[in-house]
Amino acid sequence: MGDAPDRTHHGTAIALGARAALIVGRSGAGKSDLALRCLALAPGPLIPETAVLVADDRVHIHRVGAGLSVSAPETIRGQLEVRGLGIVEVPFRANADLVLAVELVAPEAVERLPDPPPELDFLGVRLPVLRLAPFEASAPVKLLLTLMQAGYGSGRADPR
């Protein structure tokens, strides 16, 4: 991406249309599993489109103007690790605008109404953070609902 700064980050990115969420957490926290459950959700009244994988395990993050873009390293495009099955091929998107970070935490670490809303910095861009307990039944829906709302207005996250 030219002279724009970029880096590789450990995590999993999924997209709804052109907007992506980066799922972060310790190794074994459930990043790939949560992504798999998001990809498996059929469109419906709450989430009218299907989520697709951008990258699993390693994600390239690129600074693009005031925002961020994510993509997968070429060697792992379209591949998702499914514990107990191995690596499976799934539909993917080559890149998307990164508008949300999802931090996987223990259930007791999820605030009911976080105030102020948490943020993380990636390459100088502040992204809203959704803290989720990854194995709650509602976690995929919470993630996708938040992704649908994140970054509206500018089309990208607020660079503050």
Name the active-site residue from 9, 19, 31, 63. Answer: 31
Closest among 58, 63, 90, 97 to 74, alpha carbons compared: 58
33 given a catalytic annotation: no
Name the active-site residue from 3, 112, 115, 160. Answer: 112
- Is the residue at 128 inside a domain? yes
Contact 39, 89 (CB under 8 A): no
Q: What is the pLDDT of residue 156?
A: 41
Amino acid at 6: D
56 given a catalytic annotation: no
- Is the residue at 160 inside a domain? no
- Is the residue at 158 inside a domain? no
Q: Hunting for tokens 């591949």 — which residue is that?
A: 79
158 given a catalytic annotation: no
- Is the residue at 11 inside a domain? yes
Whole-structure pTM value: 0.89
- Is the residue at 64 inside a domain? yes
Q: What is the CATH number of the domain that holds 51?
A: 3.40.50.300
- Is the residue at 155 inside a domain? no
- Is the residue at 1 inside a domain? no
Q: Which domain holds residue 112?
A: 6-149
- One digit per residue, the tens of pLDDT, for the chain of length 160 reads 344 567 899 999 999 999 999 999 998 899 999 999 999 999 999 999 999 999 999 999 999 999 999 999 999 999 999 999 999 999 999 999 999 999 999 999 998 888 888 899 999 999 999 999 999 999 999 999 999 998 664 344 333 3
10 given a catalytic annotation: yes
- Is the residue at 10 inside a domain? yes
Contact 24, 34 (CB under 8 A): no
